[in-house]
Chains A and B, each alone.
Chain A
Amino acid sequence: MITSVIIFPGSNCDRDVIHAISENTGTKVESVWHKERVLPEGTGLVVLPGGFSYGDYLRCGALSARSPIIDAVKEHALNEGLVLGICNGFQVLLETGLLPGAVLTNKTLTFICKKCYLRVERNDTPFTKGYKKEQVVQFPIAHNDGLYFLPPEKLENLEKNGQVVFRYCSESGKTDPEFNPNGALNNIAGITSRSGNVLGLMPHPERASEDILGGKDGVIMWRSIQRWIERE
């Protein structure tokens, strides 16, 4: 498995996700500058990392979604390659149209950085196969604009299609509004494309990939992806 981590100007979780994936899977991870037009040969997983690409200017992710590499990422997705967008990477995916919807400023109107509980809604995606259904995991969040939004009809479709993969919840898995840190509709923390090969989420699995950092729930995601790709 080869992972390509796209680096935009202002990405700041690129080195973190490279560390988490290479330490936990022992596979090759390449950095790809956003001005490239092709992905490295043999890329199985493309990661759009967290950070503040282009300083969040204009709209979070809007400028990066027009970077030269994005065409190659779209093509990779069309060919059923795996694409993972974390935090700002998720925002970029929304702006490219690879995933539906938009994120708005948190309901608190502030940046929020803290550990959050998430409920795994689907464990039949390449990214989540290793989790149990409805397993509660802990990933930190760190964002200013994470309130996931879709108009009611489209939201209903998203739910009907089972595209919601992670939902903010309590330690025991309750999804009451009080456990929703940013006001995201239906407590949505992460969604997948209809075909299941593109995942975007606001929380950071790479920050939950070592005991010394306070948790390892993210490791299951890296191993799930590895198993999926190596089995193919």
Chain B
Amino acid sequence: MEINTEMDRKGINLMDYKEAGLTRNEYETLKNALDREPNKTELLIMGVMWSEHCCYKSTRNLLSMFPAKGKNVVAGPGENAGIVDIGDGLGLAFKVESHNHPSAVAPFQGAATGVGGIIRDIITLGARPVASLDGLFFGDISKQKTRNLADGVVKGIGGYGNPVGVPTIGGKTFYSPRYAGNPLVNAMCLGLVEIPKIISSKTAKAGQLVVLLGSKTGRDGIAGAAFASTQLAEDTKTSRPNIQIGDPFVEKLLIEACIELRDKDLIVSMQDMGAAGITSSSSEIAAKSKVGMILDFEKVPLRENDMEPWEIALSESQERMLLIARPEDMEQISEIAQKWDLDSAVIGHVTENKDYLIRNNGKIVADIPASLIGDGCPSPEWKMTRPASIEKRWNFDLEDLPENTDMQKKLLSLLKNPGLSDKGCIYEQYDSMVQTNTVTGPGNNDTSVIRVKGTEKLIAISMEADPWKCDLDPYRGATETVGRSIRSLAVAGAEPLGMTNCLNFASPEKPDQYWVLNECVKGMADFCKQVECPVISGNVSLYNETINGSILPTPLVGIAGLISMKEDLVSSGKWQEGDHIYYAGMPNPSLAGSYYQLLITGGISGRPLPFTPEAEQDFLDRAVKTAKNRLVSSGRTIKGGGLLVTLAKECIASEKGAAFDMNIPTRKDVFLFGEGGPRAIYSVPRSKVVAFKHQWNGFPILKIGEVRGDRLLVNNDIDISVVELTKAWRLK
């Protein structure tokens, strides 16, 4: 083999493996596999490809706990996103991905390119993106710095999602000072594809061409993936060159061009270029297709002429796709690219052997076995220790909490809490209706719902996280997180199709933090197994900490569910005058890690409710049947803020009052403000009350009130007009 020796010598002198981001062990593994010293370009490539962001080395073992199989799964983990079969020959592709570090440094561009990246993951499968959701976690919103950052992130999401024409139909917003220096921006996208038209990244064959489609390659975002896999520097300004710049207009052209190419069957295989750019996309195709590849870098269209091969290899310039095409199709491909004003260039070809070879003007600059790049990274064995402080966190005696008298004041305070109040100022900046499929968009709803044109079907999507409870007890918190999402779908009438998740955690290198991560994954996996919800895709974001501390453990889940007929949808906020209101669920929630506890005590403590698999399953089955048998006018699960906040939100959304005379079986504040467990509020038309009670026979339900008038009345505690509730919730 002929290697550019000058570069090699220079490389070793200039380039230490640590600078490339490799550990000693990784460097040795690489050297042994190559049977020689890697050169500079190779070291830099491997530094990025073996970063946590690209190869999940710390979490590979953990992720294997998730159930990946299921009767509807068409594509699971390993592809760019998972796909589930929704019937009628259609597949639903979806995935969530983080863009946390870039958003901390450059809120607008960081969030914008996060949206762009996840949309390209969906396009890569040959699917048309149909909806987006966003999980946003910010610091204390009363601080100007947080407000500026949040404003930039929201503008970035809208600034990208709106022009691209993918509606933002929901999400999750959460505030805690623990995110002050390290906000989280998780973007989820869903797409629809006719199953025979799905494009795989595993189908390249020798003799086919490697084609770049989209923007030119520049110096932006070089080694961004490696940047995402380290702790954030205190002065984030120095990280600016790691940030990519997005152009939603080009992305929109790319979507249309890819769909046209797909429809004309001109794409053999495809990968988007996100993290680690050309290297990652091409080597992944080579490794998954079990072929070799030769790339000629002088053929890559560049923004700047004097780029080094390693810069070309690792540039994260946005809005580019890597296609594998048959030689005879190239003419047609160029014509379609030209129609959409996009660059296209053949930059290499697929070979029989298993070598991944990069040449520049004929000289070899890198030569690595493709399989090594993809799967060769040794998994580090992080130590795990249960933190000694965990029992201390569980120390919460209800007796110490004075039983509150002014419930109304507390309710109003909670409705004004930024985590529970109206998020209109965020979601009204997003186009939530483009594509005309949005049945339930963002706002005062339990789930987001889109319809599938040409069918009777609806898809319900719920995004959830519960970081406080994960902080108190990672296993229980994680089960509650999945529970929140899946219960909302069931109440809407949807059967779960699959889950995607984003694991946002601090460094795995600290044993107690790795334990938290492990417990959370275990909790999520156990819930998913119990309810047979496959985990079809996901993303891991570690090292979310600054010198001021780490974020709350934040596993975020996005679950999609199917409603076969639109008449089966149960919405929230649809109270009808005279309906009976039922509470379904156990009457003993917990104040541990609740909004109420934080409001009263200024902190969180205690142990959240344990996971009760049978009760969860029973609740989900009954909730779906309740929807299918069309027994209720409105339904809403009880989540953040507890029962009273849920009732208030139903009043606000329904623009109707209700009178409650509850025989409270536990302590009043616990029953009214406690959180956790499978619980929901249903409003039942009088004519359906008997059937409803029959449906829930054997599960604890309680008639608590009736829809009536324009005031919310609860025992002797609450007497307030719906108008006043609405004003508080809207912060007016």
Chain A residues packing against B (C-beta within 8 Å): 9-10, 12-13, 15-16, 19-20, 33, 50-52, 54-57, 110-114, 140, 142, 144, 204, 206-207, 209-210, 212-213
Is B162 an interface residue, CB under 8 A from the partner? yes
Enumerate 28 A-B pairs (CB-CB under 8 Å) in ascending A order: A9-B253, A10-B163, A10-B253, A12-B165, A12-B434, A16-B436, A19-B436, A33-B339, A50-B434, A52-B163, A52-B249, A52-B252, A54-B249, A55-B247, A55-B252, A56-B163, A110-B158, A110-B429, A111-B429, A113-B162, A113-B427, A140-B433, A142-B431, A144-B162, A207-B433, A210-B436, A212-B566, A213-B433
Q: Are B248 and A55 in contact (CB under 8 A)?
A: yes
List chain A residues, Cβ under 8 A from B434. Answer: 12-13, 16, 50, 142
Minimum C-beta distance from A5 to chain B (A): 14
B297-341 CB contacts (< 8 Å) to partner A: 339-341
Given contacts A9-B340, A114-B428, contact A142 B433 (CB under 8 A): yes
Task: For the A-B complex with A112-B429, A113-B162, A206-B436 known, give 4 more contacts whose Cβ atoms are closer than 8 Å.
Answer: A12-B252, A13-B434, A55-B249, A113-B428
Bound complex: CA A111 to CA B424 (Å): 12
B432: chain A residues at CB < 8 Å are 113
Question: Is residue B439 contacting chain A, with contact meaning CB distance below 8 A?
Answer: yes
User: Using Cβ atoms and an 8 Å threshold, which residues of chain B touch A114?
Assistant: 428
**Cβ of B164 < 8 Å from any Cβ of A?**
yes
Query: CB within 8 Å of A: which residues of B?
Result: 155, 158-159, 162-165, 247-250, 252-253, 339-341, 427-436, 438-439, 451, 453, 566
> CA–CA, A50 to B250, complex, Å?
17
Q: Which residue of B lies closest to A35 (CB)?
A: B339
Pick from B164, B250, B427, B434 the residue with the most CB of A within 10 Å: B434
With A112-B428, A113-B430, A207-B436 as known contacts, state yes or no: A19 contacts B163, CB within 8 Å: no
Bound together, the chains give a CA A207 to CA B434 distance in angstroms of 8
A37 to nearest B CB, angstroms? 15
Quote the shortest CB–CB distance from A92 to chain B (angstroms): 15
CA distance A103 to B4 in the complex (A): 58
Roughly how many angstroms separate A30 CA and B327 CA in the complex, as a whole number? 33
- 8 closest cross-chain pairs (CB), A and B: A12-B165, A55-B249, A52-B163, A16-B436, A142-B431, A113-B431, A111-B429, A111-B158
Q: Are A10 and B249 in contact, with the CB atoms below 8 A?
A: yes
The residue on A at minimum CB distance from B427 is: A113
Chain B min CB distance to A181 (Å): 9
- Interface residues of B, dominant DSSP: mixed
Smallest Cβ distance from A62 to chain B, in angstroms?
14
Q: Smallest Cβ distance from A40 to chain B, in angstroms? A: 18
B435 and A15 contact, CB distance less than 8 A: yes
Kindly list chain B residues whose C-beta atoms are within 8 Å of the C-beta of A20.
436
Minimum Cβ distance to chain A for residue B157 (Å): 10
The dominant DSSP class at the A interface is mixed
A82 to B438, CA, bound (A): 29
The residues of A that contact B253 with a CB separation of less than 8 Å are: 9-10
Contact A113 B566 (CB under 8 A): no
CA distance A205 to B256 in the complex (A): 24
List A contacts of B163 (CB < 8 A): 10, 12, 51-52, 55-56
Residues on A with beta carbons closer than 8 Å to the beta carbon of B248: 52, 55
Point out the residues of chain A lying under 8 angstroms from B436, CB to CB.
16, 19-20, 206-207, 209-210, 213
Closest Cβ–Cβ distance, residue B451 to chain A (whole Å): 6
CA distance A111 to B159 in the complex (A): 9
Residues of A within 8 A of B252 (CB): 9-10, 12, 52, 55
**Nearest CB of chain A from residue B152's CB, rounded to whole Å:** 13
A111 touching B162 by the CB < 8 A rule?
Answer: yes
CA–CA, A51 and B566, complex, Å: 28
Q: When chains A and B are docked, how far (Å) is the Cα of A63 from the Cα of B428?
A: 27
Residues of B contacting A51 with CB < 8 Å? 163, 165
Bound complex: CA A112 to CA B340 (Å): 28
Q: Which residues of B contact A13 (CB under 8 A)?
A: 165, 434
Tell me the nearest residue of chain A to B442, going by C-beta.
A113
Q: Considering the chains assembled together, what is the distance between the CA atoms of A210 and B162 in angstroms?
A: 22
Expressed in whole angstroms, the Cα–Cα distance for A206 and B155 within the complex equals 25
What separation, in Å, do the CA atoms of A35 and B104 have in the docked complex?
A: 42
CB neighbours (8 Å) of A57 from chain B are 249
Are A12 and B433 neighbours in the complex by a CB distance under 8 Å?
no
Cα A52 to Cα B622 in complex, Å, equals: 45
Per the bound structure, the CA–CA distance linking A207 and B463 in Å amounts to: 25
Q: Which residue of B lies closest to A54 (CB)?
A: B249
How distant is the Cα of A213 from the Cα of B253 in the complex, in angstroms?
Answer: 27
Q: Measured between alpha carbons, how far is A142 from B566 in the docked complex, in Å? A: 26
B162, B341, B431 interface centre (most CB from chain A within 10 Å): B431
Q: Chain A nearest CB: distance from B161 CB in Å? A: 10
**Once the chains are docked, how many angstroms separate the CA of A57 from the CA of B159?**
13
Contacts of B451 in A (CB 8 A): 212
Residue of B nearest to A19 (CB): B436
- Min CB–CB distance A28 → chain B (angstroms): 18
| CB-CB nearest in chain B for A57 | B249
B249 nearest in chain A by CB position: A55
Q: What residues of chain B lie closer than 8 Å to A144, measured between beta carbons? A: 162
Residues on the B chain within 8 Å of A56, using CB: 163
CB distance from A8 to the nearest CB of B (A): 11
Tell me the minimal C-beta distance from B630 to chain A in angstroms: 16
Q: Are A213 and B162 touching (Cβ within 8 A)?
A: no
- Which A residues are in CB contact (< 8 Å) with B162? 52, 111, 113, 142, 144
The chain B residue with its CB closest to the CB of A7 is: B256
Bound complex: CA of A110 vs CA of B164, how far in Å? Answer: 17
- Rounded to whole Å, the gap between the CB of A64 and the closest CB of chain B is 12
User: Which of chain B's residues have a CB closer than 8 A to the CB of A33?
Assistant: 339
Considering residues B428, B430, B436, which has the most beta carbons from chain A within 10 angstroms of its beta carbon?
A: B436
Query: Taking CB as reference atom, which chain B residue is nearest A17?
Result: B436
